[in-house]
Amino acid sequence: MLLKENIPLKYVFGKIKYEVLLVAVYTLFIVLLHSQFKLTNMEIPLAVPMIMGTVISLLLAFRSNQAYDRWWEARTIWGAIVNDSRSLSRQILSFIDDQEDTVLFREKLVRRQIAWCYALSQSLRGLDAKEGLERLLSKRELAFVSKYTSVPMALLELHARDLNYALKQEWLNEYQQVELDRTLSRLCDAMGKCERIKNTVFPATYSLYIHFSMNFFILLLPFALIQNFGVLAIPMVVAISASFLLIEKMAIHLQDPFDNKPTDTPMTAISRNIERDLKQMLNDHQIPESEAVYKYYVM
Amino acid sequence: MLLKENIPLKYVFGKIKYEVLLVAVYTLFIVLLHSQFKLTNMEIPLAVPMIMGTVISLLLAFRSNQAYDRWWEARTIWGAIVNDSRSLSRQILSFIDDQEDTVLFREKLVRRQIAWCYALSQSLRGLDAKEGLERLLSKRELAFVSKYTSVPMALLELHARDLNYALKQEWLNEYQQVELDRTLSRLCDAMGKCERIKNTVFPATYSLYIHFSMNFFILLLPFALIQNFGVLAIPMVVAISASFLLIEKMAIHLQDPFDNKPTDTPMTAISRNIERDLKQMLNDHQIPESEAVYKYYVM
Amino acid sequence: MLLKENIPLKYVFGKIKYEVLLVAVYTLFIVLLHSQFKLTNMEIPLAVPMIMGTVISLLLAFRSNQAYDRWWEARTIWGAIVNDSRSLSRQILSFIDDQEDTVLFREKLVRRQIAWCYALSQSLRGLDAKEGLERLLSKRELAFVSKYTSVPMALLELHARDLNYALKQEWLNEYQQVELDRTLSRLCDAMGKCERIKNTVFPATYSLYIHFSMNFFILLLPFALIQNFGVLAIPMVVAISASFLLIEKMAIHLQDPFDNKPTDTPMTAISRNIERDLKQMLNDHQIPESEAVYKYYVM
Amino acid sequence: MLLKENIPLKYVFGKIKYEVLLVAVYTLFIVLLHSQFKLTNMEIPLAVPMIMGTVISLLLAFRSNQAYDRWWEARTIWGAIVNDSRSLSRQILSFIDDQEDTVLFREKLVRRQIAWCYALSQSLRGLDAKEGLERLLSKRELAFVSKYTSVPMALLELHARDLNYALKQEWLNEYQQVELDRTLSRLCDAMGKCERIKNTVFPATYSLYIHFSMNFFILLLPFALIQNFGVLAIPMVVAISASFLLIEKMAIHLQDPFDNKPTDTPMTAISRNIERDLKQMLNDHQIPESEAVYKYYVM
Amino acid sequence: MLLKENIPLKYVFGKIKYEVLLVAVYTLFIVLLHSQFKLTNMEIPLAVPMIMGTVISLLLAFRSNQAYDRWWEARTIWGAIVNDSRSLSRQILSFIDDQEDTVLFREKLVRRQIAWCYALSQSLRGLDAKEGLERLLSKRELAFVSKYTSVPMALLELHARDLNYALKQEWLNEYQQVELDRTLSRLCDAMGKCERIKNTVFPATYSLYIHFSMNFFILLLPFALIQNFGVLAIPMVVAISASFLLIEKMAIHLQDPFDNKPTDTPMTAISRNIERDLKQMLNDHQIPESEAVYKYYVM
């Protein structure tokens, strides 16, 4: 229940205030027309919007489901990124012995994995993927990465090259190298899945159709209510249409979970947690201070 | 049917008693207003709440589904933890021969796996993850663990280090070490999935909208029923609104399966079962007495 | 259509005969009250049960879905047990050469896998898991197993120990041992999944709420129908309530697929098929006569 | 839209013509009774079938979903069989070098895999699994197979034995043998999944209940429509009941995808495609002429 | 919201303009008949189309769901193809050292993987799979491929042969070869899954039935609306039927995601992205200019 207290009504209805105002004015206009000119043949039976209401409700439920699934899949993929980042570090630190000549190598890979998370998060938001990575990557790594369209993919390639090097140095045995490569493949899958959600828009014709039908339904509503309610039809129409408008807004909101809005998947916060966990494995307890990211996480 | 007898009506309706009381008083007030002042233009046709009722029903069904899925996924993850804990122990005890120098090593790993389950369960509930682990972990292990934010992650790292040690000692061959590491990765996945469910709240705007729409629907109901029923509208409104309020409560209840309530995922009971099973593998039949945990498990 | 002829109407309606009788008597009582005392203000409009009917229908559909999913998951898990039992035997018989010193070893493992299926089936039904296993296990195996709470888990441990022994004897190479251990992990997973379904009841508050709402809906029905139908309201109420009662009964029936009823998952029949298939691999065509288990399998 | 032109209306309505005729005669009888004897108390309000209509619609949707899922799962499993058959052949032909002593061995395995597909397809349809396999299997293989209840399982066992032989001959290395065995395990899983769908009937009590409720609903319909329509009630009742009857028929049709009907899963066509693909890998381009199997594939 | 502005209303309604026109003319005809000849017994109560409307809405929702699932599965498979193409290249370039004698070999495999994507994309659209591959494949490869029905399958076979060659040359160790073969198996799975979606039509009897019921429902609508609206029934009928017609059209549109329409799965654009990514790994930054493929991607 905590959540409810934190989010004011204003926030929820702020998203649809212009639409609701428009609906109110429109209904007022219909009501005036009806009462002034006694146009009783403007009245339509409630059964007409009811038939449409059922099919629109089902379609909004369908759309909410798909939008929620996209949002939840995005969250699940980032959950998998957390798991695989931890597993990769655990494997690197336990497979490769802690010797004088490997200590820097091990640290380099773990820090690069942290950089990978930030870079993926930035590039999904359409921002510069290399921003802020200087503290985690060497100059050589940054130079290598800058030749690629996809920075995270380039970092995975560097991982793979280093693992081959470690195999050559006999820091890893043959099974361990292949096992670590599998973890890279899972990270590569996670990256590709995020891109798929980002690049595949919800079928636009569906959203358009639902949008038009819903608005048509709202336009019909006053005609069905003026007979019984007169001027009281206005709050009725506003109430019913607000419900439908809000659900559509929520679906639009959830369906694009990587869109650089304050309420999308909290990729920066997750990346910071990964940084904290992986640095602790390196016995480095100097973690960047966690900004109050969750404060705005109301979605 | 056993379950029904165990749970009194009081328990079910206790959750919504204040809301129901409020609804009753509110309806009484409307009824009095209506009958005293003969305000017949307060009456609205039943079709208005019916249109809203359909869309709210669909949204509650949608929400119940998502809440149930979260609850069931939580349960499935803990089922996987049971399976992987058993598999890890089986692998340790069958891959590593039972020799004089390995007997303590094998036991240490199995006992640490038991500790891992309790620690995960505690940390998901927001309690001190190290509480009560002294009987399962050595002082050195406890000291190591205390430097980490996530105790279960630290225990997995200790597992991984020990497996590498066992490889060095040739207690495990190279394939067996990698195979055991895979079991660790699965446990790491399970831990991350629990954290994902714990940290990802159900989209607050959805819940808020459903909450407001439902309450608005309940506020409208008396106006639709006073015409036909008069004072009998009160039980009608109470009955219908109780249904909707209860479903919402159930969804709120199920959607956070790790919230330290008497009815959440029975992680302590499951951990105790894991302890019993794993200790039997060590031929240690001194199992902590099972508190009657399931007694309160009505959810 | 064969199925329909086999199951008499009596079977279907037998499950709800007492409830239906009660509903009939109750409706008769309301009808008499109404016609004797002319209590016309007892009448309520049909729209009231219609609003409730929609939400209850959605909840029953939700519940039917979850119950069906539990039932189908149970069936899928036992399908996986069939597959993994066959794969385990195929692997044992093809990886380990058919030599004089291995012939008994190979047979022992295959026979123990058959025993595992029967033991799991018995223990899920809450019966003695060791019953009838003497014909498949040796005395030593039975003695080992009796120290464990979970007999199937003990049998998997014996499997794992024997595989390690086979590795030592060089009957298996190192990859083959790990591959066979993976099959054991899958069997361990299947066992844990069955236990999860068995131990996790459908959220009792949900079932209770649906139960109460539905009964309340049935109690209201006569009041909505007496006006139009008089005494004919009785068959109407019986017909509508029978539908709802039956769906609830079916859901209760399906949701516990391991409950030792004649209609649950046919685990004994499946185990017998596994026995037949695995013994044929051993060239042992003496299969226990298949009881007509499917005869009662109407669920 | 091509599909619609190919399937005449006759085909669709042919499936329910007797039921529809019966409904028409029954409604005519009710109409005559009503108009001849002026039995106005036979009339019932439309709201009664509407309440039932909602719950029956939801149940039919639920049933359609489950039936569709079974049908789609069957198709997915056969898709996996295509993939694993191709992978198995690719692995055999690339892992085992093309030498004088292996050429027949490689060919034997690939041809046996083709036989496996046909045998599985036949046995799922309840036909003789060995029919027509002489052109693909040797006499020794046919003799071996005839001792087994399940021919496809016997063929997998032969595969496994041959792989072990190839390991002994050092045609395969140890990892390759285990990798090929995994492909066998996946084929074994696919076989078991098909058998599960074949052997697990849709819960008969559910289908029965839906069947009875739907028929009861149809029996009530005329009484609700005679008041407004008189003799025109007949086409109304026929139209509404035809919808419900057709959906039920479709669900019954889809739910058993291995039932030797012209419209079930096109297993023979798929097997023929596998034969074509696998033989091309062997450079054998003499493929059995593809019967126009898809012509009848309207389901 | 960008999307909405890009797609004119014309586009959305263009798909159903003929049907809508027909409906309008038909309704006009009914209205004229009704008003000219005062045929009041043509009127039917709105409850009749409402009962049908509920069941048709549920079926359309069911169909939309299945169509959306097919479309989304197609997109997911192509996402997996992106991931596995990247992983394959990463594995080839990191497993095989960059030496004088391997540089051409490595490049050949990566370029062939690019060709595989284009070939699969072409063959799924029913076009010539070899078109445009000359710039990526050698003449010998093209000749080999031309003997196969399925060009992508032939390319996978070439991959597998080359991996075996690399194993012989000791460019790959035994585990690496098996690991790369697994990536090939995943690509083979993706190819088979695409073919399954392509070849398995949505059950035609279902679509037909939904089509007929919906049209029958539209034919009934005017009779239910003429009483209240007279000539205003025309826009009502058009509005309601347009909703239903559009949803059906969208479902038909989404259900065949590989049908060579401007709005299907953007396989060419995806293949081009794969080409860009894989060539960057080879340090070849000469990427074919990206046609503005997404411009038409409104679906």
pLDDT, one tens digit per residue, over C37-76 is: 766 666 777 777 777 787 788 888 888 888 899 999 999 9
CB of C39 less than 8 A from some CB of B: no
Contact flag E44-D236 (C-beta cutoff 8 Å): yes
Residues of chain A in contact with residue E225, where contact means CB-CB under 8 angstroms, are 48
What is the per-residue DSSP string for A236-288?
HHHHHHHHHHHHHHHHHHHH-TTS--TTS--HHHHHHHHHHHHHHHTT---PP
Residue B176: the pLDDT is 94
Model confidence band, residue C292 (pLDDT cutoffs 50, 70, 90): very low
Query: Given CB atoms, is A257 within the 8 Å cutoff of chain B?
Result: no
Q: Is E33 exposed, middle or buried (0-12, 13-18, 19+ CB in 10 A)?
A: middle
Q: How confident is the model over B207-249, as pLDDT tens digits?
A: 877 888 888 888 888 888 887 777 778 887 887 888 788 888 8
Most distant pair of Cα atoms in chain D: their distance: 94
Between E79, E179, E239, which is nearest A178 by CB?
A: E179
Taking CB atoms and an 8 Å limit, are E176 and A174 in contact across chains?
yes
Query: What is residue C160's predicted lDDT score, i.e. its pLDDT?
Result: 95
CB-nearest to D204 from C75, C276, C298 is C298
D82 vs C227, which has greater pLDDT? Answer: D82
Q: Contact E146/E158 with Cβ under 8 angstroms?
A: no
DSSP chain D: -HHHHHS-HHHHHHTTHHHHHHHHHHHHHHHHHHHHHT-GGG---THHHHHHHHHHHHHHHHHHHHHHHHHHHHHHHHHHHHHHHHHHHHHHHHHS---TTTHHHHHHHHHHHHHHHHHHHHHHTTS-TTTT-TTTS-HHHHHHHTT-S-HHHHHHHHHHHHHHHHHHTTSS-HHHHHHHHHHHHHHHHHHHHHHHHHH----HHHHHHHHHHHHHHHHHHHHHHHHHHGGGHHHHHHHHHHHHHHHHHHHHHHH-TTS--TTS--HHHHHHHHHHHHHHHTT---PPP---GGGG---
Q: How far is CA A191 from the centre of its chain?
A: 14
Q: Is residue C246 assigned to a domain?
A: no
Q: Is the Cα dihedral C153, C159, C163, C168 positive or negative?
A: positive
Average pLDDT of chain B is 84
Chain E interface mutation, best of A77, A201, A205, A253, highest count of E Cβ atoms under 10 Å:
A205
CA distance D216 to chain E (A): 16
The number of residues making up chain C comes to 299
Cβ neighbours around C227 below 10 Å, total: 16
Say if the Cβ atoms of E75 and A200 lie within 8 Å.
yes
Convert the pLDDT of each residue in A80-117 to its tens digit: 999 999 999 999 999 999 888 899 999 999 999 999 99
* Res D39: pLDDT: 66
For residue C220, the model assigns a pLDDT of 85
In chain A, which residue's Cα lies nearest the Cα of E173? A174
pLDDT above 70 as % of chain A: 88
pLDDT band at C254 (very low <50, low <70, confident <90, very high): confident
- Read off the pLDDT of residues E266-280 as tens digits, 9 standing for 90 and up: 898 999 999 999 999
Q: What is the least distance, in Å, from the CA of E253 to any CA of chain D?
A: 11
Residue with tokens 């629990």: B194
Report CB contact under 8 Å: C50, B50. Answer: yes
Domain span holding position E205: 10-296
CA-CA distance, A149 to A175, in Å (whole number)? 32
CB contact under 8 A, E60 and A61: no
pLDDT at E299: 38
Distance from the Cα of C4 to chain D's closest Cα (Å) equals 7
- Interior angle at CA C237, CA B11 and CA B240, nearest 5: 40
Residue E38, amino acid = K
Q: How many CB pairs under 8 A join B and C?
A: 154
Q: Is residue B262 part of a domain?
A: yes
Min distance B283 CA to chain C CA atoms (Å): 9
Neighboring chain A residues of B196 at a CB cutoff of 8 Å:
75-76, 79, 82
Cβ within 8 Å, pair C277-D149: yes
Distance CA D58, CA C64 (A): 10
Find chains touching chain C: ≥3 CB pairs under 8 Å. Answer: B, D
Banded model confidence at residue E164, pLDDT cuts 50, 70, 90: very high
The nearest alpha carbon in chain A to B167 belongs to A95
Percent of chain E at pLDDT above 90? Answer: 45
Q: What's the Cα-to-Cα distance from C130 to each of C115, C133, C190, D247, rounded to whole Å?
A: 9, 6, 19, 48
Domain count of chain C? 1
DSSP string, B205-225: HHHHHHHHHHHHHHHHHHHHH
Query: Is C195 within 8 Å of B79 when comparing Cβ atoms?
Result: yes
Kindly state the tokens that stand for B231: 């004072």
Start-to-end Cα distance in chain D: 15
Mean pLDDT on A19-26: 91
**Is residue C224 a part of any domain in this protein?**
no
Q: In angstroms, rounded to a whole number, what is the distance separating the alpha carbons of residues A57 and A51?
A: 10
Full DSSP string of D239-279:
HHHHHHHHHHHHHHHHH-TTS--TTS--HHHHHHHHHHHHH
Q: Residue B293 corresponds to which tokens in the numbers above?
A: 């945990």
The interface residues of chain A toward chain B in range 193-232, judged by CB-CB distance below 8 A, are 225, 228-230, 232
How close does chain A come to E146, measured CA to CA in Å? 32
Contact state of C7 with D45 under an 8 Å Cβ cutoff: no
pLDDT for residue B73 = 94
**CB pairs A-B closer than 8 Å:** 154
> Is C182 in the B-facing interface, judged by CB distances under 8 Å?
yes
Which chain C residues contact residue D163 at CB under 8 A? 94
Q: Which of C182, C226, C201, C178 is nearest to C46 (CA)?
A: C226
Q: Decide if pLDDT at C174 tops 80.
A: yes
User: Who contacts A130 (Cβ-Cβ below 8 Å, separation ≥6)?
Assistant: A119, A122, A142, A145, A146, A151
Exposed/middle/buried for residue C17 (C-beta within 10 Å: 0-12, 13-18, 19+): exposed
Structure tokens at D243: 């919808």
Q: What is the mean pLDDT of residues E46-70?
A: 82
Contacting chains of A (3 CB pairs or more, <8 Å) are B, E
- A216 domain-assigned: no
Q: Do B61 and C66 touch (CB under 8 A)?
A: no
Cα separations in angstroms, E79 against C2, C27, E92, E267: 45, 60, 20, 10
| CB–CB contact E193 D79 (8 Å) | yes
Residue B158 to residue B137: CA distance in whole angstroms: 11
CB contact under 8 A, D4 and E211: yes
Q: Enumerate residues 148 to 177 of chain C having a beta carbon within 8 A of any beta carbon in chain B.
A: 148-150, 153-154, 156-157, 160-161, 163-164, 174-175, 177
Give the chain A residue nearest B202 (alpha carbons): A299
Answer whether D209 sits within 8 Å of C49, measured CB to CB.
no
In the structure, how many helices (H) and strands (E) does chain E have? 11, 0
What string of pLDDT tens digits covers the 299 residues of chain D? 233 444 556 666 677 888 889 999 999 998 888 888 766 666 777 777 777 787 788 888 888 888 899 999 999 999 999 999 999 999 999 999 988 889 999 999 999 999 999 999 999 988 888 888 999 999 999 999 998 999 999 999 999 999 999 999 999 999 999 999 999 999 999 999 999 999 888 777 778 778 888 888 888 888 888 877 777 788 878 878 887 888 888 888 788 888 766 667 789 899 999 999 999 999 887 766 655 444 434 33
pLDDT score of B298: 39
C-alpha torsion E263→E265→E269→E271, nearest 10: -160
Domain assignment of residue C5, yes or no: no
The Cα–Cα gap between D110 and D116 comes to: 10
Tokens found for residue E163: 């991996």
Distance from CA of E7 to the nearest CA of D (A): 25
CB contact (8 A) between residue D184 and residue C50: no
Q: Are A222 and A237 in contact (CB under 8 A)?
A: yes
Least confident segment among B85-94, C169-178, D7-16, E56-65: D7-16
Neighbours of C104 (CB within 10 A): 9
D185 touches chain E (CB under 8 A): no
Going by pLDDT thresholds of 50, 70 and 90, the confidence category of residue C168 is very high
At B275-295, the pLDDT tens digits run 999 999 998 777 666 554 444
Mean pLDDT value of segment E49-57: 78
Q: What is the pLDDT of residue D175?
A: 93
Q: Residue-wise over B161-174: b if at least 16 C-beta within 10 A, else e?
A: ebbbebbeeebbbe
- How confident is the model at residue E155, as a pLDDT? 96
C143 touches chain B (CB under 8 A): no
**ipTM, two decimals:** 0.89
Q: How confident is the model at residue B107 (pLDDT cuts 50, 70, 90)?
A: very high
Comparing C184 with C225, the larger pLDDT belongs to: C184
Average pLDDT over residues A263-284: 88
Q: Which residue in C11, C175, C15 sits closest to C95, CA to CA?
A: C175
**Residues E55, D243 contacting (CB under 8 angstroms):** yes
A164-173: average pLDDT: 94
Residue B296 placed within a domain: no
The backbone torsions φ and ψ at residue B118, rounded to the nearest 5 degrees and listed phi first, read -60, -40
Mean residue pLDDT across chain E: 84
CB of E185 within 8 Å of any CB in chain A?
no
Contact C229 D44 (CB under 8 A): yes
Preferred mutation among C163, C178, C261 to probe B, highest tally of B CBs within 10 A: C178
Give the CA radius of gyration of chain E.
27
Those of residues 48-67 in D touching chain E at CB distance below 8 A are: 49-50, 53-54, 57-58, 60-61, 64-65
Asked if residue E294 has pLDDT above 60, the reply is: no
Residue C262 pLDDT greater than 70, yes or no: no
- Do the Cβ atoms of B81 and B277 come closer than 8 Å? no
CB D138 within 8 A of CB D147: no
Cβ–Cβ contact A246 with B under 8 A: yes
Give the H/E segment covering residue C16: none
Q: What is the pLDDT of residue C162?
A: 95
Q: How confident is the model at residue A157 (pLDDT cuts 50, 70, 90)?
A: very high
Instruction: Give the pLDDT confidence score for residue D111 in this predicted structure.
Output: 95
Q: Which of D11, D95, D244 sits opposite E164 (nearest CB)?
A: D95
**C-alpha A68: how far from its chain's center?**
10
